[in-house]
Structure 1
């Protein structure tokens, strides 16, 4: 063992961390709880995610040393319901000894009890446990099994399913076991502690794998199905292929959908729907032109009404006012002596200029105005100018041509020019027409445009009334709608270019593909949360799958197989050969071989030496197959350290007398240390067991069962042919005689007749048994093969009187064992007469047993 275990620590250090923890737990307890398994499943996942540090566990050879062997005894079976036809009113007791024979005729319930025990104890081949098929109403299956475990009496109440862990070590041999190792491969039931440890660890792996699978099943996909028309896009293909390895940057790439994408979808839809892309391009260009002009005008009026231009206009206005005021002052001095009002005013100046024009163009062509030569006349009244009039006209002209007057004129012209720098702003009706022509359909932008031009008009209207720069209102800022419709203008230009391209090239398939791609992207963006949830789910599942891989039992099975080769197979084969020899079957050319190791189960099979493995069942006779399977069974179960019972259901079926005796001898030998329970319908087997048990100073417990009106399995008296003569005779003389006597006293004569016939028949059998065991000293007995020649020494004590006594009783009661002639039936004795004969036999047996030769 130390040599086999010296590398166990190293071997386990190369196993997954969670498995090492599981191994350590198993060393401290026989079985892991559901919480232990759950914790191990969590640890397994954490290890798969790289979240636990690497540690190693160590093992010592003493960890797998054998503990104390326990003792187990079956005591009784009671309260059976719903199992075959079993319906016993009394418990089936197995006695106090180590070998018990349960005898019963065919159909008495033996197989029903064995099937029940197989299900309670968990035999290899359970089979199906049927209820009573002759009852129309199904009864719930249940039974109570009492047993002693390490000296403590316990009771297991079986409720139709599951096995009793305390009874799981009970081994049962029946017809089904006859096929184990012979017709198929199977594993040995005994395992050394280190292999049991590996078996438990393999079971833990399977339980952890089941826990991980259950965890995996809780993470059901909520991933929505993408519409069929979107599956064929690049986005749809990506969606269908998302996995635990899908990166966040891929999600961002495929699942972000912006307003520009929606706009592009609409654009693509429009392009696909357009029948004449050339005309559409022209229309879009016109819309763009109207937008551009509208933006240009807005910017132009914004510049014309800027604070700087307004200050320039107001400055020109102020200058004109000042200059005019200065000229008016000078004119007042010039025209102060005038007889008329308004000389020098603007109206007068207009009159003066009109007179000038008339004079130079008509009255005095090309002559300087005013013409004041001799004889000249006034161009207005045509009177000859006097000297005073000439001087007045000359002074007027000098005033008009003076610097101050000219400055006032120039300033007025400058102001007029500045005012004209602000053009005519479109009125609301004209503006609406231009907005519609530009294709601006959004009411919000349209109202912003209208409001902006209204603000410009208001500023322009206020400008003439403003006399100082300080009074200039705040200039309107460049509106946001200009940027927006500029973008729209650019989009129109781009779209027009695309329509022109569409007109040149047949690219509808390409447009449709791009549109579908954007629609798929929109769908993905709407389901982004589900996609990210699915990726998270797949990552969890991937981690669980990685964890599940570490629960694979292959390495454990291989290691167990290595250990089993020396610890199980060699010892198993040796025991099997020994059992064949003990059973007298060494000549049968069979061998037990290991076939394989599967999930820690070391499988063995019987095969013929030097022949094909599958020929065994076909070559061996039925008896040979039975004795070989018994040998394999005994070799298997005798390897156990526990003192658990063996149960045999008709083990000698198909065996000849030699094999039968060999099996009986082996069972009696095993009964020294284990409880042996044998179910049989053969009196010969019962007699053989009693014979060989007696030779070993062992008294078997014999239990009889029978079929009653209410069902099978009812405990009954032992057959008289196999019961103790003294006990049987006492039972006739006490219990049954009293019943007949009471019926006779009560005048129940028909019942009395039935009872007396039965008692006479049984007394006749007792007489036969007395001849075999007493008169002939047990030299030869029915149902037993041996002839006890040594007992011949006691025959000399037999005398004529003894023969006559037995002969008289045999003559008297033999008639009750044969059919009675109707014309002369044998008369039944009365109860007292029968009692007297039975008493006489009792007395004779006691005296004869004490008699010496």
Structure 2
């Protein structure tokens, strides 16, 4: 947009958008003083800022998209001067841009360090803390204090120590809550010990029955059973032999023996208390049939008693008693109702515990029920192992005992605060366990940030800046000050008694400031006029930027504001001189500057580009035609005839007469301006021109070709079209010429200019 020539003038009236372009360039190029770049302040809401900039560098067309922030690295060498630069050097101190080649290495190294540091900061910012905020009441616990002090040094072992929370810890929390809620701790202790007693009893019974039905005990029972059977078989064989001639069957059998023992008991306890059994004395009777015993009966009874008291029969009897005794070591197991009552009495609130206990006793009962069918050790079922519920019950019994002791302690002393602290500590550990993942992530984040900080320390530029400052103090100051003095002299401002002095060196930067030479005070703003301040700031700007080794463009925003004619011409000539080496872009609203640039550029055989901007319905900065007072007459006249006249003609043909009239009035007004300029440039040969200071006296000789008909033509055109530029009475308005007449007049001016230019002197 701003041209490809050595120097470009961007012209526009106030409010046309020139300053907006300059502000945008300052942001994109990274200027010292970047003003705020606003969106359309007349529209509500915040719009997204975006600009696409195309430029040519070393013959290559490039582009950069700016999205509200950031600097284009390829344009950061572009220097920009505007009103804000008056604060630099003049009202404050500032670092120079110029650096000798020997310092470029230090600057590049510092820049690289700063970029690395910035990248490290950006990386650190990408890892914000997600550490959960712990409730205030938990922060006072040892676990809470540890949590608040988490750092990159925190170890996994330390995290485990404070964050592991087990089921026993949860039980402890419930216990502490119960202790705090208990109003009668002594009674609670008694209740717990009673529960413990029921648990212990249940365990003892289980262990007792487990011992009674153990393989060892079953083997003893089997052995006694085998012995009893063996002895009985031998006794029965002996009885059969003794009573083989008996009148009745079954003598010596178990039934008969029972009958015999019953008769014995009856005889010694009732019938014949003081007489041994059987009573075979004179007159004795049978205790069963009560008949008087005969001699044969007496002998039979005596033989029966001898049999019963015989060794084999005694052995059989002893074996039977032994078997009965051993068998009685297995007691009757509790019924299901009794067992349920015992389990409930333990107050262990777990259905699984009850089912396991019930299942265990059922296994014991089944083993006992199988015992009568077992005749050998090989037939003994697999042994029952001590069940796990016994261990759990014992552990619960122990915990009940410990808890009862704590309730006893609670009853004896007021330790509620201590309980509360312990409870809060456990609850804090539970909270930590619930946020274990976040804690691990936070420690990992802190370790990463620590590594980033260590890396960032290596980017510290203090030593580099110090060395650069030492060299810069020697290498920059004298040459920089010399350039400033040269610029002041070139502007013809030597009478302004100012000097540029070094103030200090900071971080490798040499800072300078302007001050009055030999004056007691250094405030230039209080002494210099506005124009002097402006010319001094321009001199300081050029002294700064011309010392660079690059060929980047210079941008000037209204550089001649507040300057008189002499300073204005001096600045323009300096800019044209600079345009031989660098592209110069000047933004201005003054036609005089545009004319002055053209005048001095022509002397140096330089043709400046002129760009015009204006405000439009969408905003400001719209490209616009060059003002007629500064545009080429021939080009402007062709535009009127070939474009704008045709637009008006088309509007009439389409029946839009109101638009056609507006367009024709605009054409008449601009045509009148072109006639006026033709008088200055053609008729009077450009001897004197508006917005330009010089008088071209050498062109007076060309006036010899002037004729009366020339004056009459231009006078008639000026008279005819001036009526549209001046107020007219309403009762006698100036009528608009017909479109064909307007076209004819424009053609006549064009033809006259071509003929007049070729006319010989």
- TM-score over 0.5 for the pair: yes
Once residues 274 and 113 of structure 1 are traced to their aligned partners in structure 2, the CA distance between those partners, rounded to angstroms, is 78
Q: Does 1:380 align with 2:292?
A: no
Once residues 753 and 424 of structure 1 are traced to their aligned partners in structure 2, the CA distance between those partners, rounded to angstroms, is 132
Q: 1:253 pairs with 136, 145, 161, which one?
A: 161
1:361 matched residue in structure 2:
273
SS at match of 1:506: coil
Deviations 1:142-199 (CA, angstroms, capped at 9, x unpaired): 999998x76x597989999999877765655554444431123333333334444444
Once residues 471 and 388 of structure 1 are traced to their aligned partners in structure 2, the CA distance between those partners, rounded to angstroms, is 51
1:573 matched residue in structure 2:
481
Deviation, structure 1 residue 572: 0.4
2:471 matched residue in structure 1:
563
Larger CA deviation: 676-685 vs 627-636: 676-685
Larger CA deviation: 325-334 vs 248-257: 325-334
Q: Does 1:493 align with 2:401?
A: yes
Q: 1:262 pairs with 158, 164, 170, which one?
A: 170
Q: Does 1:541 align with 2:453?
A: no
Larger CA deviation: 264-273 vs 555-564: 555-564
Contact 1:103 1:704 in 2 (8 A): yes
SS at match of 2:205: helix
Deviations 1:526-556 (CA, angstroms, capped at 9, x unpaired): 3322322232233223333433444444444
1:351 matched residue in structure 2:
263
Change (3 A) 1:158 1:690: farther
Change (3 A) 1:331 1:349: farther
Contact 1:702 1:718 in 2 (8 A): no
Larger CA deviation: 352-361 vs 414-423: 352-361
Q: Does 1:636 align with 2:548?
A: no
SS at match of 1:361: coil
Deviation, structure 1 residue 218: 3.6
Contact 2:469 2:510 in 1 (8 A): yes
Larger CA deviation: 378-387 vs 453-462: 378-387
TM-score, scaled to structure 2: 0.70
Change (3 A) 1:206 1:481: same
Q: Does 1:456 align with 2:456?
A: no
Q: Does 1:318 align with 2:226?
A: yes
Contact 1:103 1:682 in 2 (8 A): no
Query: What is the Cα-based RMSD across aligned positions, in Å?
Result: 5.9
SS at match of 1:245: coil
Deviation, structure 1 residue 595: 3.7
Deviation, structure 1 residue 260: 1.7
- Unaligned regions of 5+ residues in structure 2, if any? 617-621, 642-666, 723-744
Deviation, structure 1 residue 649: 6.7
Q: 2:514 pairs with 603, 606, 613, which one?
A: 606
TM-score, scaled to structure 1: 0.64
Contact 2:198 2:345 in 1 (8 A): yes
Q: 2:215 pairs with 307, 310, 318, which one?
A: 307
Q: 2:534 pairs with 603, 619, 626, which one?
A: 626
SS at match of 2:333: coil
How many corresponding residue pairs?
688
Change (3 A) 1:542 1:755: closer
Once residues 114 and 553 of structure 2 are traced to their aligned partners in structure 1, the CA distance between those partners, rounded to angstroms, is 30
Q: 1:242 pairs with 132, 150, 154, which one?
A: 150
Contact 2:203 2:390 in 1 (8 A): yes
Once residues 211 and 392 of structure 1 are traced to their aligned partners in structure 2, the CA distance between those partners, rounded to angstroms, is 126
2:730 matched residue in structure 1:
none
Change (3 A) 1:289 1:588: same
Contact 2:19 2:557 in 1 (8 A): no
Once residues 321 and 193 of structure 2 are traced to their aligned partners in structure 1, the CA distance between those partners, rounded to angstroms, is 43
Contact 2:516 2:523 in 1 (8 A): yes
Deviations 1:66-96 (CA, angstroms, capped at 9, x unpaired): xxxxxxxxxx846xxxxxxxxxxxxxx96xx
Change (3 A) 1:550 1:613: farther
Q: 2:330 pairs with 399, 410, 422, which one?
A: 422
Q: 2:355 pairs with 432, 435, 447, which one?
A: 447
Deviation, structure 1 residue 258: 1.8
Change (3 A) 1:282 1:618: same
Q: 2:423 pairs with 481, 498, 515, which one?
A: 515
Contact 1:687 1:784 in 2 (8 A): no
Once residues 39 and 559 of structure 2 are traced to their aligned partners in structure 1, the CA distance between those partners, rounded to angstroms, is 25
Once residues 232 and 84 of structure 2 are traced to their aligned partners in structure 1, the CA distance between those partners, rounded to angstroms, is 139
Contact 1:101 1:700 in 2 (8 A): no
Deviations 1:572-628 (CA, angstroms, capped at 9, x unpaired): 012223434454545544322334556665432212345577512212233443343
Contact 2:14 2:589 in 1 (8 A): no
Deviation, structure 1 residue 277: 1.7
2:656 matched residue in structure 1:
none
Once residues 327 and 132 of structure 1 are traced to their aligned partners in structure 2, the CA distance between those partners, rounded to angstroms, is 128
Once residues 336 and 387 of structure 1 are traced to their aligned partners in structure 2, the CA distance between those partners, rounded to angstroms, is 20
Q: Does 1:279 align with 2:187?
A: yes
1:296 matched residue in structure 2:
204
SS at match of 2:273: helix
Change (3 A) 1:428 1:757: closer
Contact 1:313 1:415 in 2 (8 A): yes
Deviation, structure 1 residue 249: 0.9
Once residues 601 and 659 of structure 1 are traced to their aligned partners in structure 2, the CA distance between those partners, rounded to angstroms, is 32
